[in-house]
Amino acid sequence: MEFIRKHPRILLAFCGGLLLACFYFFSREVKRGFLKQADFDTTVRLQDKMPSSASRIDEMWEDVAFFVTPGPSMAIIIVITIITIIKEKTAKRRLASLAIPVLFGLLILGEIYGKNVVHHPSPPFFMIKNPTTIFPKYYINEAYSYPSGHAARAAFLGFSFLSLITYRLSLSKKNLKKWIVVGALTFLFVAIVAIGRIYLGHHWLSDVIGGGLVGSALGIFSLVVR
């Protein structure tokens, strides 16, 4: 325990590596059909919980996900990187801050890997709540959905945000309650994004789990370089 207290980055690196390994093996199982029934059942249950006429609720779920779409999330990462570079006092630490956009780039590669290797079909068109294109009700969506890029970016941005918070809120016992609140709110945002992707019919449960794993893994690595 004393070693971990003195070398927290080693623990973070281990956790990040473990999550990355989990993403790899989970992806292999998803390719074999793991959670196939649970994927369908989860989507149906979530959609049944919401009134079919609640269009404003559907729009709310879409609005929440706006910040983790590719353009806005990339802009947020650039802002976080710039702030981090400004806050750091040594050239070495400023250079290390560039690892954040590099890790974000690796996140994109992780998403590309899943889409092109796992080949996990997207939910059928009739399950999509707010379709932007008109197709027949039983049109088969041939695009692949694993992993969820929105869930991955939400998790990565969550950890990047926590990294930024350390400049104002030190990691100490006296700030433990504050960190619990900040961490809980960050986790809540990631969970809302993930649930929204399933409810709207854009992704399956396994998609958001995979996205959460790779996003969290690389997000934790962004804490290691802090």
Tell me what pLDDT residue 140 has: 46
Which numeric CATH code is attached to 2-224? Answer: 1.20.144
Domain boundaries, given as residue ranges, for the chain:
2-224
Q: Which residue type sits at 129?
A: K
Mean pLDDT per 10-residue segment, the chain (226 residues) = 62 91 95 93 88 67 87 93 85 85 93 90 82 49 83 94 76 75 91 93 95 95 80
- Separation CA 161–CA 16 (nearest Å): 16
Tell me what pLDDT residue 142 has: 53
Tell me what pLDDT residue 72 has: 93
Q: What is the pTM of this model?
A: 0.87
- Separation CA 73–CA 50 (nearest Å): 28
- Separation CA 175–CA 219 (nearest Å): 22
Query: Contact, 220 vs 160, CB < 8 A?
Result: no
Residue 159's alpha-carbon distances to 74, 120, 173, in angstroms, are 15, 27, 20
Give one DSSP letter per residue of 81-148, joined into a string: HHHHHHH--SHHHHHHHTHHHHHHHHHHHHHHHIIIII--BPPPGGG-SS-SS---TT----SB--S-
Tell me what pLDDT residue 155 has: 96
Least Cα distance to 192 among 164, 155, 217, 159 occurs for 155
